Amino acid sequence: MGKKNFGTGEIIFQTVTYIVYALIAFTCAYPFYYIFLYSLSDPTMVAGKSILVLPVGFTLKNYISILSLKNIYLSLFVSVTRVIIGASAGVFMTSMFAYVLTQKELFARKFMYRLTFASIYLNAGIIPWYITMRSYGLKDNFLLYIVPSLIIPFNLILVKTYMEQTPYEMQESAIIDGAGFFTIFVRIMFPICKPVIAAIAVFSAVNHWNAWVDNFFLIRNVQLQTIQLTLLNYMRDAENIAKAVRADSSLQKLTNIRHELSPMSVRMTLTMFVTLPILIVYPFMQKYFVKGMLIGAIKG
C-alpha cells in the first residue's frame, strides 16, 4: 500500500485537533502537577513565589509531618482494609445479583431490576439514611463500610448488560453436564466478565478510598476512623493553629512546633496523599477498565 496523501485542509484539521486535545489534556493534568509541586515545596520559601515547573525549595517534610500524625497508620490500615474487603465483597455480590437477574427462571426479575435501577434516582436523604444505619446496628461498626455498598446499581447495570451479551449456549452446556447456577456463575460467567469486573472494581475501590461521610456521621471510635476523616480533622487543626498564631503573637511556642507546615501546604499534601494511590493503581487497570466500560455500555 502506498502512503496516504493528505490535503492541506486535512493537515490543518489534524493539527488543530491535536493542539486542542493537547490543551485539554494539559488543563486537566497540570492542576494535579501543581499540587504535587506545592506538596514538595518548602512552606517557608513558597510564599510570594510562583511554582511552575519545579518545586521551590524541594523538601519531603510536608509528607513526613503527615506521616508523623497520631493514629495515621491505624487510619491507613482501616482504609486499606475497607478498600480490599469492601471492593471485593461488593464486586462479587453485585456480579452474582446481576447474574441472577439474567436468568429467566427468576420470579419477578424485571420488577427487581427496575426497583434496583430506580434507586439510582430516588434518595430519601441523609436523615433517613442515618436512622436506617443505626437501626441495623452499624453505628461504630466496621460493617458500616461493607454492607451498604454490597450492591451498587450502576455497577449492576454494567455487569448485567455484559452477561446478556455472552452466548447462553455455554450455560446450557454446563447445565446439561449437571452444573448448578452457582457453579456456572463462579466457574464460567465470573471469569468471562473479567473486563467489566475490573471496571467496577476500580469504581468500588475509588469510592471506598474516598468515602468519609459514613465515617463522619456514624463512627465515633477512633480505632475505626478512615484515613480520609483523620486527615480532614488534621487539616482543620492546622488551619485553626494558623489562625490562632495570626491572632495572638504569644503563641510563638505553638509556631515552633509546626513552623514548617502552613495550612496551604497541609491542604496540598493531603490532596496528593489521598490521590496518589489511585493514580498509581489506575494505569495498571486501564486496559480492563476501558474495555469493560465500552462493552458493558453497548446495551441499555
The CATH code of the domain that includes 218 is 1.10.3720.10
User: pLDDT tens-digit profile of 39-89?
Assistant: 888 877 776 677 888 888 888 888 887 777 778 889 889 999 999 999 999
Confirm whether 241 is domain-assigned: yes
Confirm whether 152 is domain-assigned: yes
**Which has the minimum average pLDDT: 212-221, 236-245, 275-284?**
236-245
Residue-level pLDDT at 169: 83
Confirm whether 218 is domain-assigned: yes
Confirm whether 129 is domain-assigned: yes
Query: Directed axis angle between helix 227-247 and helix 72-101, to 10°?
Result: 140
Confirm whether 2 is domain-assigned: no
* CA atoms lying within 13 Å on the CB side of residue 40: 12
Residue-level pLDDT at 251: 41
The structural domain count of the chain equals 1
Confirm whether 281 is domain-assigned: yes
pLDDT (mean) for 241-270: 56
Number of Cβ atoms within 10 Å of the Cβ of 224 = 19
Confirm whether 11 is domain-assigned: no
Residue-level pLDDT at 228: 86
Residue-level pLDDT at 145: 93
pLDDT (mean) for 7-33: 88
Query: Which residues fall within 8 angstroms of residue 41, CB to CB, at 6 or more apart?
Result: 51, 55, 56, 57, 58, 59, 265
Confirm whether 80 is domain-assigned: yes
Q: Does position 103 have pLDDT exceeding 90, yes or no? A: no
Q: Which domain holds residue 235?
A: 60-296
